[in-house]
Structure formats: structure tokens, C-alpha cells
Copies of this chain bind each other. A is one copy, B any other.
Amino acid sequence: MSEAKTWVLASHNQGKIKEIADLLAPFGIQLQSAADFSLPEPEETEPDFAGNAILKARAASEATGLPALADDSGLCVTALDGAPGIYSARWAGEPRDFGVAMRRVHDELEQCGSADRSAAFVCVLALAFSDGAVRTFEGRVSGEIVWPPRGDGGFGYDPVFRPEGESRVFAEMSREEKAGMSHRARALARLVAEEFGDD
């Protein structure tokens, strides 16, 4: 269990900051946002989610002297050897168009010749301390890629991802329904369990 009671979240997304701040409050953690500091935004040069999350958390912790939390996440498609993975956002181009990214997933699946449509959304949270210690917490939700895209909720690849045991894709669920089973929720659940549970 951490001694320090103020953590920094390496994110500028106000909705995400508020949500995680509220989640951590019962455990005595006060969360500050990256916006409260002049935080560096390191390039995501690592080959996996954990590496990039650690890189961002370390940079924020070194800049502030406080424990820092960062996340990295994406969609991993089995038949594409885990792609788009850490490139999930980058496949959408600039400015981001996930219609393009979803089409690319579909096209590559058609070309690869495999009938396997299994995939997983993965989120890794990294918690870095100023003494260099770091811990990671992974959450994942398994499912499969459908085509064509369905629904108008969610964002990113949600219109083509159907979680295991569900008939609907993420984009056909309410925000609350998706939240209860999302990869980010599961990573947060693991963080709470390991940082604030017994032992």
C-alpha cells in the first residue's frame, strides 16, 4: 500500500480524471490531473501497452515527484498477430477517422485467409513511484470482430467489437452497460484490489 496520498493522472481528459478521482477517493487518494502540472508528453516508443503506460507514468512521476498513473490501450486481433494493438489510434490517421481504421481491420482479416475473428480490447494501467518502482494492472475483454459496423454509441472500434457472451457490439450498448465490462474498468478493478485490498 502506498504511503503517498496524492497521485497524478497522466491524462488531460477531464471526464477520465473526474471518474478515476472519484473511484480512488474512498481509499484516501487525491488525484491531480496532468493539467495541474507542465507535464512532458513522451513519445510512445515502446512495443507494447505496458511499456508505453510505464513510459508515460514514469515521465509524470519524475516531473512531479509524486506517484503517477497512466494508461495505454487498444484492440488486438488474433488473426492479425495482435494488430492494430498499440497502433489502434494511429490506424485511424490524423485527423482520426475510425471508419478508416475499422475498414483496415476488416480488409486485413479478409486478406489473411483466416476464419478466426477473435479479438480483445486490452488496457494496461501503470503506477510509477518517484523512487523508480512501478506496477502495472491489465484488464481485457475478449470478443470478436463483426462486419459491417453496427450501432452508434461508443467510439473507436466499438462498432465492430462484440464482447463474448453478448449479441450486441459495444457501440449498441449504453455507456453504463459497456462500462461494467470494459477493459479499462477491469484494469481499474485490478488496481483497486492490489493497491487497497488485504495484504
Contact = CB atoms under 8 A, between A and B. Distances in A.
B185 A26 contact: yes
A27 B185 CA distance: 6
A198 interface: yes
A197 B189 CA distance: 5
A25 B22 contact: yes
Interface residues of A, number: 35
Interface in A33-74: none
Interface of chain A, helix or strand or loop or mixed?
helix
Interface in A165-199: 174-181, 184-186, 188-190, 192-193, 195-198
Contacts of A30: 176
A176 B5 contact: yes
A28 B198 contact: no
A155 B88 CA distance: 50
Nearest to A195: B189
Interface string A1-28: 1100100000000000001101101111
A193 B198 contact: no
A180 B20 contact: no
Given A1-B181, A5-B177, A20-B26, A189 B186 contact: no
B28 A177 contact: yes
B196 A28 contact: no
A134 interface: no
A16 to B, nearest CB: 9
Given A22-B22, A27-B189, A28-B180, 12 more contacts: A5-B174, A5-B176, A23-B23, A27-B179, A28-B177, A28-B181, A29-B180, A185-B196, A186-B198, A188-B196, A189-B192, A193-B197
6 contacts: A19-B26, A22-B25, A26-B184, A29-B176, A189-B192, A193-B193
